[in-house]
Structure 1
Amino acid sequence: MWSIIIPTYNRLPILQKCLQAMEAQDFTEPYEIVVVDDGSTDGTVEFLQSHTTEFPHVRLFQQNHEGAAIARNTGIDVSQGETIVFIDSDLVVTPVFLSSHAKALAGSDRAFTYGRVINTSNFENPTSEPIKITDLSNAFFATGNVAIAKHWLIEAGKFDTSFRQYGWEDLELGVRLKNLGLKLIKCPDAVGYHWHPAFTIEQLPRLVDVEAQRGRMGVVFYQKHPTWEVKMMIQMTWIHVVLWGVLSLGGLLNERSLRPLLSWLINQGKPQLALEVARIFLNWYNVKGVYAAYREAVLIKGQ
């Protein structure tokens, strides 16, 4: 038995496409789709409860809005499979997704497989998106598209529920899995298309807030694993201070000063390029956020 664990929060339209793709798998082994609703208010629960015949593999579980780490742990606890697959609820996979993971994982218990994730803003036909250089990832363990034996997750202690905001809970678990001696097997044939709406100016306040959250959770990550590798991952080094400080002109290039350029790029039909430009100041905010959170943590520790 395989268990596909999908935490979700207010993503009903794309979740439907996600589940339809998971139901259409060319896979001979039994599998279940464990959907953990994290307190959605968009009718997700009601929809799934009224469409059980359309999604026969789905088992629905509900919790209050407590974050992805707790939702994934809930999924692990209630899952019936010996092998766990984590995907996000905005991922649309191909029919050979599960069989590709199974083929790559066969005979390799002390390992896990990591599939390919291709970002797209094409809601109508997400799987038509070509792979781009920005889709490449060096992450060791990321829950967007990964398959692993359940007993390793339990032995590692599952996800740390102190990660209550955006970011790092999967990579932190990855450090513990690496310490157990697990190896990463890349599985490019297990393709998932990660849908997100095309970038707009209206998204900027949320993106700025996400970087602040990512900075705070990065410090939680570093406090658990105070290594140079983690410092590099969370951008808490002089290298990142210099890099993003210079590129953003010390913060002079920000969401206000670059707004005309970003709007022009979006109007020219280049929202992805606009987002890449915005990442200059978003990364600067992240660097500042992680150092601010670290100073606060040191101050609290010293009291």
Structure 2
Amino acid sequence: MARPALAASVVVPSYRGAHRLPALLAALAAQDTTEPWEVVLVVDGDTDGSERVAKAHRGPLDLRVVVLPENLGRVTALNTGFDAARGRVLVRCDDDLEPAPGYVAAHVAAHAGREVGAVGLYRNVFPETPFARVYGRRADTALREAAYASAESTRWRYWAGNASVTREAWEEVGPYDTAYRAYGWEDVDWGYRLAATGRPVVLDPALETVHRLVATTTGLRARRAFYSGSAREIFSAKHGRVLAEPEPTGAWGRLVRGTARSLSESRLGLAADAVDRLLPVLPDAAGRKAVALLVESGHRAGGRIARVSDPTAV
């Protein structure tokens, strides 16, 4: 294998990201590292002028833009970008992040003298909405706290849109799995496969990064939970139930399971939209419970429907 010409490659998959790319590229242009590095932007079907916007905002960046002929999905965009990258450290970066000036240097430093997968958690920035007030910010804080408190052996589950590996690790693990065609779990799958090579996955606070495109309503959050539940079944069919799903207990558990049995994707959407209309007038505690019920039961409903649709799922 030829020695990589660059210290790092930042791989950015993007679909309809023309309005998000200026902030990301401006942040990347402000990086303070002195080592040579590049940005590989993969436009997953250019329907909104993303290529033109990217090239207009490239600034001093060593930026290569790869445009796929049509929308082929995030997995294909990621694989295309990683295969084109020339860096020793390969950084996975979503197009709605706003990295601090030390972002690239911190990712490179995370791999100095060790073979690991390095993950930076999101610092989600919420607009002022009823959903954010009663549920979104609390859930975001709880997720980060749970991640840092988790066992080191299970931290691969947090592999997501701000993570890095060495080129050697990428070549050993192989590409993202194209079986994940919709929303979610392609990253968790890759993190699991990375950990299976014996490389630990570390959560590095120095890599935490501002994330702008978050779910701003119950409707968005519940639908994402539904799709995530469906994608989880692909993971379980491949690897078994290696990631136990917490079982809600007591009256709350019965309510979640009962609600999940009654939900389809369309019913979930209608219920979530109704909750969004009620949040401005509901007491915060009641609103929080209503959102949590739809998020938790929506995730279960997505998994249940996926298992019914594919009897081979375990």
Matches within 5 A, 1:89-238: 89-108=95-114, 110-121=115-126, 132-136=141-145, 137=147, 139-140=155-156, 141-196=158-213, 199-200=216-217, 204=219, 206-226=220-240, 228-230=241-243, 232=244, 235=245
Q: Distance in 2 between matches of 1:134 and 1:276?
A: 17
Q: Distance in 2 between matches of 1:43 and 1:16?
A: 12
Aligned residue in 2 for 1:286: 299
Extract unaligned runs of 5+ from structure 1: 124-128
Distance 1:99 1:294, change over 3 A: same
SS at match of 2:41: strand
**1:101-131 CA deviation, whole Å, 9 max, x = no partner?**
22232100x21221232011359xxxxx9x8
Extract unaligned runs of 5+ from structure 2: 1-5, 129-136
Post-superposition offset of 1:148? 0.7
Distance 1:147 1:256, change over 3 A: closer
Correspondence for 1:61 among 61, 66, 74: 66
The 8 Å contact of residues 236 and 242 in structure 2, kept in 1 or not, is answered as no
Post-superposition offset of 1:289? 1.8
Q: Is structure 2 residue 23 aligned with structure 1 residue 9?
A: no
Post-superposition offset of 1:135? 3.6
Post-superposition offset of 1:221? 0.8
Number of corresponding residues: 283
The 8 Å contact of residues 89 and 164 in structure 2, kept in 1 or not, is answered as yes
The 8 Å contact of residues 119 and 135 in structure 1, kept in 2 or not, is answered as no
Q: Distance in 1 between matches of 2:204 and 2:301?
A: 35
Q: Distance in 1 between matches of 2:287 and 2:80?
A: 37
Q: Distance in 2 between matches of 1:179 and 1:300?
A: 22
SS at match of 1:185: strand
Amino acid at match of 2:11: I
Aligned residue in 1 for 2:85: 79
SS at match of 1:132: helix
**1:108-166 CA deviation, whole Å, 9 max, x = no partner?**
0x21221232011359xxxxx9x833444354252321121012112112211111110
Post-superposition offset of 1:180? 0.5
Distance 1:217 1:62, change over 3 A: same
Amino acid at match of 2:163: V
SS at match of 1:10: coil
The 8 Å contact of residues 100 and 187 in structure 1, kept in 2 or not, is answered as no
The 8 Å contact of residues 10 and 39 in structure 2, kept in 1 or not, is answered as yes
- Paired-residue identity, %: 26
**TM-score with structure 1 setting the length:** 0.80
Q: Distance in 2 between matches of 1:195 and 1:187?
A: 20
